[in-house]
Amino acid sequence: MIPAADRFAIIVHSYPVRPGRRFRPAVFNFDWWNHFAPPRVSALTGIGSPSGRAEGCLLSLNYETAQLQHLPAARLLKKTIKAGQKASRLGARIIGMGLPLLKALGPASAAVTRGLDSTVTDGAGCAAAAAIDGFWKAADLMGLNPEETAVLIVGAAGSVGSACTQILARDGVNYLTLIDTDRARLDRLASRVLYDYGVACKISAQVESAIARADLIILAGGTALADLDASRIKPGAVVCNLSTADEFTSKIISRRPDVMIFDQAVLRLPGGAVLSHDPVLPAGSIRASLAEAILLALEGRFDRYFIGSGVRLETLIKMRHLSRKHGFALSGFAALDRYFDFTAVKAIRDLRPA
């Protein structure tokens, strides 16, 4: 018997129909637009695995990324809540939101859940779990072995950095260097990793020297990011930027073509998935943060604790397990509005000095 499809919705800030075009017309009145609920601009169908089926829709606020930073917070929050209410009326039991929108909302993102009948997820758990798998894949494509090379985690004291540190040690990384301003939390994390996995982490306060030695780098947040110098990164290094510092990703892309950087893994959905929401990505693929709502719909999980709850090791392990169970597969990497397939990563490797 084929199981019934659980419904989901995804809210994004913008819907580029194809490169060079926008969904909204050139002559556009924002005050008029704000009186209406965001439109449903795309159906997301054909998603299924032996364990479940899911179908949903995409709703767009129709704001460009640059505009998000200048919109009044109350207006953006009101528009997002309207989108969530419409998604609930359309039958969505779980709602995911795009990363640029979440960054623009900031702490107010938790308020989106009020008054909604649907669960709202920020996608952080699936994004971090997929990023770690992508980290291993990118290292392999660049000719690096994480078990034998220097791995640096900047912002290791935060929830994302701590979870990434533990899962990397669990996966077999032996040379971990941790950087953050909270030395007490770093000491506790290093003790836990040594006790649980037998890996002795190095704690450093020297950002420049640590980044110059590292072959693999995870940027998980924290004030230490302000001291990073892109010119100090090794040629052929892999950088995974899970922080909100988009300008650092932009700097690496424009100035360091010999460094592989990504801020999200891109996943191919199971079944004959029909997706048309992002013209940059290959057919049937989606950014990992948006994939979480789909993954949880496939699993029939509609718990109300996913948004704003941080990322823990248990969350990463669970998301990894569910992704593999339902047949989600890594198909490439995203860095801001750019997509890198595996061939593009190998081309970056070839720029490394012999």
**Both 243 and 166 in a single domain?**
yes
**Both 136 and 175 in a single domain?**
yes
Residue 84: partners with Cβ closer than 8 Å, 6 or more residues away: 11, 95, 112, 116, 118, 120
At residue 102 the predicted structure's pLDDT band, cuts being 50, 70 and 90, is confident
pLDDT at residue number 57:
87
Instruction: Give φ, ψ of 99 to 5 degrees.
Output: -60, -45
**Both 255 and 318 in a single domain?**
no
Q: Note the pLDDT tens digit of each residue in 33-75.
A: 555 556 666 778 888 888 888 888 888 888 877 777 788 888 8
**Both 204 and 343 in a single domain?**
yes
For residues 146 and 139, is the Cβ–Cβ distance under 8 A? Answer: yes
Q: Note the pLDDT tens digit of each residue in 280-292.
A: 788 888 999 999 9
**Both 153 and 54 in a single domain?**
no
State the amino acid at position 17 in one-letter form. V
pLDDT at residue number 39:
61
Distance CA 125, CA 277 (A): 22
**Both 203 and 294 in a single domain?**
no
Domain of residue 154 covers: 126-264+335-349
Residue 206: partners with Cβ closer than 8 Å, 6 or more residues away: none
328 vs 103, residue with greater confidence: 328
Strand, coil or helix: what is 248?
Answer: helix
Q: Note the pLDDT tens digit of each residue in 291-333.
A: 999 999 998 888 765 565 578 888 899 999 999 999 999 999 9
**Both 215 and 295 in a single domain?**
no
Q: Which two tokens stand for residue 213?
A: 């030695």
**Both 136 and 257 in a single domain?**
yes
State the amino acid at position 137 in one-letter form. K
pLDDT at residue number 335:
92
Residue 88: partners with Cβ closer than 8 Å, 6 or more residues away: 95, 116, 117, 118
Distance CA 105, CA 72 (A): 10
Give the containing element (helix H, strand E) for 334: strand 329-335
**Both 214 and 282 in a single domain?**
no
Distance CA 130, CA 156 (A): 18
CATH number of the domain where residue 209 is located: 3.40.50.720
At residue 26 the predicted structure's pLDDT band, cuts being 50, 70 and 90, is very low
Q: Note the pLDDT tens digit of each residue in 140-178.
A: 999 999 999 999 999 999 899 999 999 999 999 999 999
Query: Would 354 be classed as within a structural domain?
Result: no
Instruction: Give φ, ψ of 154 to 5 degrees.
Output: -95, 125
